[in-house]
Amino acid sequence: MSIFDHFEELRRRIFYALIAVVLGVILCFCFVRPIVQLLEIPAQGVKFLQLAPGEFFFVSIKVAGYSGLLIASPFILYQIIQFVLPGLTRQERRLLAPVVLGSSVLFFLGLGFSYIALVPAALNFFINYGADVVEQAWSIDRYFEFILLLMFCTGIAFQIPIIQLLLGLLGIVSSEQMLSGWRVVVLGAAILGAVLTPSTDPITQSLLAGAVLFLYFGGIGVVKAIGR
């Protein structure tokens, strides 16, 4: 294929992916109220306020956007794979399926871990800290900014084993080298937990740092298991 054919193919794949995202957003907007109610569960009955006209409407668009992108992500990945597949060698093609599948599974596990553990821990800390001083009434927009950012960042952080696997398969870093730098990793996990969590409470940061360490040492085990 010529360079112009490649650009045409890329344009077509991007167009298909955008259509999938738009359809996903529209579908999620039609069911946005149940999604919002599901995301409000970790707040344990805190009263939410609409502090400006139309605030909940824009929150609905934001939630539908994130949810629609999540629903469309398998199709987007499929379009990316179809674009890059012809340029890969046979060995690279064998690696593509487990890497993509593992990355997707880890991302959704990160979302689940954040929803089940991180978000409730952070909210409990803030609720209990000021329970005897202030009444809990939160802005609906600020609340969803908080939990959506936390969930997305956790999903990204859960990609650590995939990065380790790629580094090991490419021969850039061995499992022994990964293990020898555990002190730096512990410090990095603490910093990562502080940077990725939008809250400042130590409980959420510790949970995320602990998950990062678990994933890192698990990734070392996977790299060692494949003989790297």
What are the pLDDT digits (tens) for 99-142? 778 888 888 888 888 888 888 887 877 777 766 677 777 888 88
Kindly indicate the confidence band of residue 43, based on its pLDDT and cuts at 50, 70 and 90.
confident
% of the chain beyond a pLDDT of 70: 86
Rounded distance, CA 108 to CA 151, Å? Answer: 10
Report the DSSP beta bridge partners of residue 47. Answer: 137
- pLDDT mean across residues, the chain: 79
Range from 42-46, 57-61, 67-71, 169-173 carrying the lowest mean pLDDT: 169-173
Query: Do residues 161 and 212 lie in contact, with contact meaning Cβ atoms separated by under 8 Å?
Result: no
**36: its two tokens:** 């919002």
222 pLDDT above the threshold of 70: yes
Q: Are 102 and 215 in contact (CB under 8 A)?
A: no
- Confidence at 27, pLDDT banded by 50, 70, 90: very high
**Which of 13-22, 141-150, 180-189, 208-217 is the most confident on average?**
13-22
Is there a contact between 122 and 153 (Cβ–Cβ < 8 Å)? no
How far apart are the C-alpha atoms of 194 and 182, rounded to whole Å?
18
What pLDDT score was predicted for residue 26? 92
When pLDDT is cut at 50, 70 and 90, the band that residue 1 belongs to is low
pLDDT tens profile 47-103: 888 877 888 888 889 889 888 888 888 888 888 877 777 766 776 677 777 777 888
